[in-house]
Amino acid sequence: MPGMPSGTVTSASSHTAPDQPVTAFRGPSTPEPGGTIRRYALTARTATVRLASGRQVEAWTFNGTVPGPPITATQGDLVEVKLHNADIASGVTLHWHGYDVPAGEDGVPGLTQEAVMPGQEFTYRFRALQAGTYWYHTHEVSDLGVRMGLYGTLVVSPRPASGGTPAETTGTGTGETSGTRARNAVDLTLPAHTFAGTTALGDQDRPFTRQVAPGSPVRLRLVNTDNTPRGFALSGAAFRVASIDGRDLNRPGELNRTRLRLPAGGRYDLVFPMPPGQAVLLVDDRPALTLTPGGPAPAAPAEKTAAWPEFDPLSYGGPAPTPFGADDRFDRRFTMVLDRGLAFSNGSPMYAHTVNGRAFPSIPTQLVRKGDLVHMTVVNRGRDTHPWHLHGHTVLVLSRDGREPSGSPLWMDTFDVQPGQVWEVAFRADNPGIWMNHCHNLSHADMGMALHLDYD
Ligand code: C2O
Ligand code: CU
């Protein structure tokens, strides 16, 4: 984009820094009572990565791998991640996608910290207060950085006392299983990524197989780390969507022969018991993962998943009370009309992805006060899908095209606003700081589709 270098959204030099650094909003340095400290060291560096197929690609990595090391914790733990940049020339940060960390830990260069340049370090600390499936990625030249491999998963298990089944093991396709609580539980975290021209699930760029004992509870955590929606389908087993964007759904019903469409940045957790005597196939546009009960199991049926109806989260599960809703009095209302066209950015015209006719950094900041109940309307007048993502807050979906959800309350941090659609969402402004509010097609964000939400 002429006049708009890639990485504009996230580069420190391209927009005005906040009046004061957000260091006032750094996280605590101790776990909650009963929690432990989960320490990780991530080194960002260029590396030649050997994919499962044997192909070698040049990548930007954390600790030499794509995806980076899985980060796991239990609710109440302190997560402490020391980021070191060895040789990523444009700089690196860590953003905890969907995780409502204190603003000073949010990893947005030029906003909450300076980018970590080669030879430098930055240590992130936050309490793991929410259980669920999340991910992390660099937020400096994020379109290029994430595409090159600077991302990984973050999974927080429920506090054992809360009665949930803790994740026994998470892994990117390693298939290790262990367990003390739910015997032989299988818990796989599967970031889906288009990488160097291949489609990878976890660290596997070709179909792969895991053996699972019949009857074992299986949890597949699907994470879309791409810029565009990803389609998934499961054949050979009925399943439930237990959670979306890390939030459990209320009374999720059983699904069969249903296609799933994950927004860019979104997460779906699928759960089911491993059926006896038959393989289960996870299809991600093409066969990706086969779970087999072992022995001479008949293959999962090769079904034509493209014809299956598409899952709609707005009509799934059972209604439940929410802390606020469409009929509440809102303290602030914001409308964002998404489109594409000529816009002014830093005073000069450019072709951009726009919000209300303007491009970053010329889109007015949305101002809220702590405690406000905030209403947002997002309208897509363009021809591209825009996965809308707000940092630091999880929003409750109030309606899509005027229709309220008829199923479970739906809390999301990234929702696909398809061409022509209108979404209304709400959230409580309870996390002071300054936050990005942007399209998670990161190439769109780099081309202007981003703004700030600030607490006055
Ligand atoms: Cu997942 Cu501002 O990003
Ligand atoms: Cu977009």
The ipTM is 0.97
Ligand 1 atom closest to 445 (CA): 2
Q: Please tell me the distance between residue 384's alpha carbon and the centre of ligand 2 in angstroms.
A: 7
Distance of CA 351 to the CA centre of its chain: 28
User: Is 265 a pocket residue for ligand 1 (Cβ < 6 Å)?
Assistant: yes
Look at the chain and count its residues: 456
Ligand 1 atom closest to 265 (CA): 1
Domains and CATH numbers, the chain: 12-162 (2.60.40.420), 186-311 (2.60.40.420), 332-455 (2.60.40.420)
Q: Please tell me the distance between residue 110's alpha carbon and the centre of ligand 1 in angstroms.
A: 14
Separation in Å, CA 83 to CA 25, 45, 107, 189, 221: 19, 11, 11, 22, 25
pLDDT digits (tens, 9 = 90+) for 250-282: 999 999 999 999 999 999 999 999 998 889 999
Of all protein residues, whose CA lies closest to atom 1 belonging to ligand 1?
Answer: 97
User: Is 230 a pocket residue for ligand 1 (Cβ < 6 Å)?
Assistant: no
Per-residue pLDDT at 4 exceeds 70:
no
Task: Note the pLDDT of residue 264.
Answer: 97
The β-bridge partners of 310 are 259
Spatial strand order of the sheet with 78-85 comes to 56-62, 37-50, 78-85, 121-127
Q: Output the average pLDDT for the chain.
A: 89
Mean pLDDT for 94-113 is 96
What confidence category does residue 321 fall into, taking pLDDT thresholds of 50, 70 and 90? very high
State both tokens at 290.
């086969």
Starting from the CA of residue 223, give the closest ligand. Answer: 1
User: Is 438 a pocket residue for ligand 1 (Cβ < 6 Å)?
Assistant: yes
Per-residue pLDDT at 17 exceeds 50:
no
Distance of CA 201 to the CA centre of its chain: 15
171: Cα within 13 Å, side-chain hemisphere: 11
Mean pLDDT for 314-340 is 97
State both tokens at 410.
């739906």
State both tokens at 337.
């009309």
Of all protein residues, whose CA lies closest to atom 3 belonging to ligand 1?
Answer: 97
Range with the poorest average pLDDT among 73-87, 197-211, 298-312: 298-312
By three-state DSSP, how is residue 434 classified?
strand
Task: Note the pLDDT of residue 374.
Answer: 98
Q: Please tell me the distance between residue 418's alpha carbon and the centre of ligand 2 in angstroms.
A: 10
Non-local (6+) Cβ contacts of 148 within 8 A are 59, 60
Q: Please tell me the distance between residue 170's alpha carbon and the centre of ligand 1 in angstroms.
A: 23
Ligand 1 atom closest to 436 (CA): 2
pLDDT digits (tens, 9 = 90+) for 343-371: 876 778 888 999 999 999 999 999 999 99
Range with the poorest average pLDDT among 18-22, 187-191, 374-378: 18-22
Question: From CA 140, how far away is CA 6, in angstroms rounded?
Answer: 10
Task: Note the pLDDT of residue 323.
Answer: 97
Answer yes or no: are the C-beta atoms of 203 and 232 closer than 8 Å.
no
What pTM value is reported for the model? 0.90
E strand intervals along 76-185: 78-85, 95-97, 121-127, 132-137, 151-157
**Residues contributing to the annotated binding site:** 97, 137
Task: Note the pLDDT of residue 27.
Answer: 87
Non-local (6+) Cβ contacts of 215 within 8 A are 184, 273, 274, 276
Mean pLDDT for 95-121 is 96
Q: Please tell me the distance between residue 443's alpha carbon and the centre of ligand 2 in angstroms.
A: 8
Question: From CA 280, how far away is CA 293, in angstroms rounded?
Answer: 9
User: Is 266 a pocket residue for ligand 1 (Cβ < 6 Å)?
Assistant: no
Non-local (6+) Cβ contacts of 307 within 8 A are none
Dihedrals φ, ψ of 143, to 5°? -60, -50
101 versus 15: the higher-pLDDT residue is 101
Task: Note the pLDDT of residue 379.
Answer: 98
pLDDT digits (tens, 9 = 90+) for 378-408: 999 999 999 999 999 999 999 999 999 999 9
Per-residue pLDDT at 218 exceeds 90:
yes
Mean pLDDT highest for which of 18-27, 93-102, 351-360?
93-102
Mark 199-220 as b/e (b = at least 16 C-beta within 10 Å).
bbbbbbbebbebbbeeebbbbb
By three-state DSSP, how is residue 39 classified?
strand
112 versus 5: the higher-pLDDT residue is 112
